[in-house]
Structure 1
């Protein structure tokens, strides 16, 4: 006779490495129900739920939303699961294609940074790339505040992701809503954004479409103390090539303090929307 082992929510949280708060949330949305709940409200779990939480964590790592995972678990159908996995593979392949040129640019920039030619230059050279970008949905928070508050704003966005059904679908970014290039780090109009899969609107947090269009961009490797150099390069390039800047600048953070303690290894993409003078004059 098989012995059924029962775990308290604390024991189950320790085994599964999922917080009790998140387990209660999963129960609330009927993604993962306890084996039983006593009259005093205490939740108890079994080995069956351990198998389910392992699958949930695996699918979350693949980028599935909680609603998508719930659908897979409820249907419990092999063919449906195969179709769901194939759709995710197709989405990831599309994302890989869209970011392929960024990888090439990063490699070029890294070689330039490590090359002897750049050691004695007062200003580094930057490869400027122009291309059309697709619009996408992003979870955002916008404040007029000082630049030092950006990290806290980003942390608050991640907290929303953790407690909602949203799935992060791209690299986090900051949009600097600057008027006439008059940027004041102590009084800046800052919008922090994380690409997500679904709409959300609660309190200071909201989703909106980040506009697509023609952008010029470059990759910067190094401390934020010298991030003015790529901006100078982009603005100079736009003037030399008869392009006008038509919107706020965007910084995408591919490597920052979350991945390395060495600021010289930070990797940031600066993107600025542009239009040719010919198009503007039409």
Structure 2
């Protein structure tokens, strides 16, 4: 047996953290001396503490690690690894996009150009969209965490054997957009219904929409919103629901942010 101090050195973790793990039920001493309350660990527990360290390095929460350690089938680990891979890939791609924009802006400044692309032209179209079955998840979050929300929806698609039937969409429900506290819904068209306690399909209502195509980084998509809002006002329409972005071409295509393609939709009705 190892004392808590020895086990701390083996596991490269503080004794304070070992006591915290005990409280959470992650890893408990195999024996506690009733006279002096000294804690002891056995050799087979070394594997457990090293596994916990690895999972912490993978950025799993204590609650997630507990779920993984309690599941001897590794089903939970498989699901959470897949989700974490997607989220980290999203974060890496987001950082690459920002780096590209930084370099592009610097290059434009060195050439004496404006860092904003003012040469975009927008064609506004009006179409009647059909109802669409979507797997969706709505939450109020920081836009910096949108990748987590997207990851949860894709995880549900994969774990439930659904087939994707269209482009991913983001609906925006706030009248005044707050990037730190945004009420958004991630929707993915799928082939069949699903209802679980965590996530379910619903029908995204069709109807009359005006829309336009935006080509460029997401940070500049406000230009397309401006054009649509001006068009709605000039043509005696009104907005009757939540607008949404449909991602036609994005980071997954490995292209530069200047080549991203997003279709922006606003549901409208006559004034």
TM band (smaller chain): 0.5 to 0.7
CA-CA distance at 1:207 after TM superposition: 0.8
Which of 224, 229, 252 is matched with 1:230 structurally? 224
Q: Which residue of 2 aligns with 1:71?
A: none
Tell me the number of residue pairs that the alignment of Structure 1 and Structure 2 aligns.
158
CA distance in 2, matches of 1:222, 1:120: 11
- Select 2:135's aligned residue among 136, 139, 147: 139
Query: How far apart are the structure 1 equivalents of 2:265 and 2:141?
Result: 22
CA deviation map 1:58-95 (0-9, x unaligned): xxxxxxxxxxxxxxxxxxxxxxxxxxxxxxxxxxxxxx
**Cα deviation, residue 121, structure 1:** 7.3
So what's the TM-score if we normalise by structure 2? 0.56
Indicate the structure (1 or 2) with the bigger Cα radius of gyration.
Answer: 2
Deviation, 1:260, is 2.0
1:130 aligns with 2:126: yes
Unaligned runs of at least 5 residues, structure 2:
1-72, 74-114
Q: Distance in 1 between matches of 2:210 and 2:219?
A: 22
Name the SS for the 2:214 alignment partner. Answer: strand
The offset of 1:273, in angstroms, is 0.2
Give, in angstroms, the shift of residue 198 of structure 1: 1.3
Match of 2:210 among 210, 216, 219: 216
What CA distance in whole angstroms lies between the structure 2 residues aligned with 1:197 and 1:146? 30
After superposition, the C-alpha distances for 1:21-49 in whole angstroms (9 at most, x for unaligned) are: xxxxxxxxxxxxxxxxxxxx9xxxxxxxx
**8 Å contact kept, 1:255–1:266:** yes
Runs of 4+ in 1 over 6 A off after TM superposition: none
> Is contact 1:221-1:268 (8 Å) kept?
yes
Unaligned runs of 5+ in 1: 1-40, 42-118, 278-282
Partners of 1:221 and 1:260 lie apart in 2 by 15
Would the alpha carbon gap of residues 240 and 205 (structure 1) be closer, same or farther in structure 2, given more than 3 Å must change?
A: same
